[in-house]
Each structure stands twice: as structure tokens, then as C-alpha cells.
């Protein structure tokens, strides 16, 4: 009885510590094999993010190869300006300009999904809200006092913080849409999914080859196991 009570208490304490008043991260539902989504994500990235952020670990030519895209298609969708196919995804913004404009240089996003996780990046991009106290008039639910401006506000609309008093201090626990953007919340979520899929792909392009290859390897091992089993039976026949 005592043990049961102890276990119940333990479980309860776990549950209690797991309850965070701030909204948990949203599920990004990543799928790097959804090539249409990754392509759209690349387009959004080129239009809305590359002014500040680079992805220095990948070349346009790698994307072309992985998704079987012609140079024309790439130039139409996300390869803008004078860039060449073998270029990396560089931003025109120098580190010094970034620092003087925002206080911190916008980081390279090649590995951001591995460093932060897809759910974090998804929730971060969705978590900007209006905050007149910040220099750029905007703050973020997931990354408080972040230096990045809310670059997607025209699509998303404007969000306001939901504030609750926790242990005597005002804490932002959620955000809510107060002014509609060009897109419905559902359409906007799809934009973020596309962008996160693209960032997840660039963080590990070889996944596209690795996972399908894994299936062949398993298949090979199963076939090998059957052959070995039969062989074993054959050998043991003579010994019995
Ligand atoms: C006007 C410049 C600018 C644009 C455009 C911009 N960002 Fe940022 N971004 C920044 C700055 C500056 C930071 C660093 C913020 C900080 O550390 O406080 C940042 C940080 C980030 C981070 C957090 C990285 C980390 O690990 O903390 C992510 C993710 C990110 N940006 C994604 C994006 C995406 C996706 C887009 C396009 C929709 C975008 N950014 C567009 C300036 C920009």
C-alpha cells in the first residue's frame, strides 16, 4: 500500500513539474520527402529570409540534383539575382551590417533545425507578437527579446500577448491573432511547415538518400537471414 502510494506521489510530482504555464512548442510535423513542400519552402526562404540569413552549407546545385530541378525552374522559384548554380545560399547582408542594424548578426541557418529542433523553429516563426517596449516593436513567445524583426507579419497578421501573473510577475503564456493578415491561419501554418521542411532538408540533405537506402539494407539482411537459416539446416542434417 505504502509503495503504491509512493509511486502515485512520484507520478503526480512528475506530472506537476511537467505542467508549464507557457504554451508548449507546436508539432512541426516535418517531412523532407514532401518535395513540393520543400520547394515552396525554398521559395519563401529566398523571398523572406535570405535578405538577412545565409545557408552556407548547401549549394543550389545540390538542391537541383536532390529534387531533379532544372536551372530554369530554380531561377523561377528561388534562385534570384546573379547567383550561379554552384553558389552556396549566401545572404547579401554582411556580418557588420547585421550587427549594426539588429545588435546581433543574423545567424547562418544551415544547422538551425539540428541545433534547435523543428518544433522550436516552427513555434518561433509563429510566435512573434506586438511589443511597443522592444526596439523593433516586436517580441517573441519562444525566444523572448529576440533581435529579429517580425518579417512575416503581412502574411500572418498581428498577434498580441496573452499575459498571466505567475508568482507575482506578468508572464507571456500565449499569443492571439488580433489583426488578420493576407493569409488565413491555416494557410500561414502551411507556409511555416514548408519553410521548416526546407530548413530540415538543408540541415541533412543526405537523409533523402539514407532513408530509402536503409530499406534496401533491411531487405538484404532479411534475405541473408533466410539463406543462412536454410544453410544451417542443411549442415546439421548430416551431423544428426
Ligand atoms: C531583417 C533581417 C532578418 C530577416 C529578414 C529574417 N531574420 Fe531571422 N534573425 C534575424 C536576427 C538579427 C536574428 C538573431 C536574433 C537574436 O539572436 O536575438 C535572427 C534569428 C533567427 C532564428 C533563430 C536562430 C537561433 O538559433 O536563435 C531563426 C530560426 C530565424 N532567424 C529564422 C528566420 C527565417 C525562417 C526567416 C524568413 C522567414 C528570417 N529569419 C528572416 C534577422 C532576420
The superfamily CATH assigns to domain 21-205 is: Cytochrome c-like domain (1.10.760.10)
**Torsion angle of C-alpha atoms 224, 227, 233, 236, degrees rounded to 10:** -70
C-alpha of residue 106 to centroid of ligand 1, in Å: 6
pTM for the model? 0.87
Distance CA 182, CA 153 (A): 9
104 lines ligand 1 (CB under 6 A): yes
Q: Which atom of ligand 1 is nearest to the CA of 50?
A: 5
Position of cell 507557457?
Answer: 22
The domain segmentation of the chain, as residue ranges, is 21-205, 214-240
Please give the chain's pLDDT, 240 residues, in tens: 667 776 766 666 555 555 566 889 999 999 999 999 999 999 999 999 999 999 999 999 999 999 999 999 999 999 999 999 999 999 999 999 999 999 999 999 999 999 999 999 999 999 999 999 999 999 999 999 999 999 999 999 999 999 999 889 999 999 999 999 999 999 999 999 999 999 999 999 999 999 889 999 999 999 999 999 999 999 998 876
CA atoms within 13 A on the CB side of 66: 23
121 lines ligand 1 (CB under 6 A): yes
49 lines ligand 1 (CB under 6 A): yes
Amino acid at each position: 500500500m505504502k509503495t503504491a502510494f509512493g509511486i502515485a506521489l512520484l507520478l503526480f510530482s512528475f506530472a506537476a513539474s511537467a505542467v508549464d504555464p507557457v504554451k508548449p512548442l507546436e508539432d512541426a510535423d516535418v517531412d523532407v520527402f514532401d518535395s513540393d513542400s520543400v520547394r515552396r519552402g525554398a521559395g519563401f526562404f529566398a523571398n523572406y529570409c535570405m535578405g538577412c540569413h545565409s545557408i552556407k552549407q548547401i549549394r543550389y546545385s545540390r538542391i537541383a540534383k536532390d529534387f531533379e530541378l532544372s536551372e530554369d525552374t530554380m531561377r523561377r522559384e528561388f534562385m534570384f539575382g546573379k547567383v550561379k548554380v554552384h553558389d552556396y545560399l549566401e545572404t547579401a547582408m554582411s556580418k557588420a551590417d547585421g550587427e549594426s542594424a539588429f545588435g546581433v548578426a543574423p545567424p547562418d541557418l544551415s544547422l538551425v533545425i539540428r541545433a534547435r529542433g523543428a518544433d522550436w523553429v516552427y513555434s518561433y516563426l509563429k510566435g512573434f507578437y506586438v511589443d511597443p517596449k522592444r526596439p523593433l516593436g516586436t517580441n517573441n513567445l519562444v525566444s523572448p527579446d529576440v533581435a529579429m524583426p517580425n518579417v512575416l507579419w503581412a502574411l500572418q497578421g498581428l498577434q498580441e500577448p496573452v499575459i498571466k501573473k505567475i508568482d507575482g510577475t506578468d508572464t507571456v503564456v500565449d499569443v492571439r491573432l488580433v489583426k488578420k493578415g493576407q493569409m488565413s491561419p491555416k494557410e500561414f501554418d502551411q507556409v511555416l511547415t514548408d519553410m521548416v521542411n526546407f530548413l530540415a532538408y538543408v540541415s541533412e540533405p543526405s537523409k533523402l538518400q539514407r532513408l530509402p537506402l536503409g530499406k534496401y539494407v533491411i531487405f538484404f539482411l532479411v534475405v541473408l537471414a533466410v539463406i543462412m537459416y536454410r544453410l544451417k539446416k542443411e549442415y546439421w542434417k548430416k551431423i544428426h
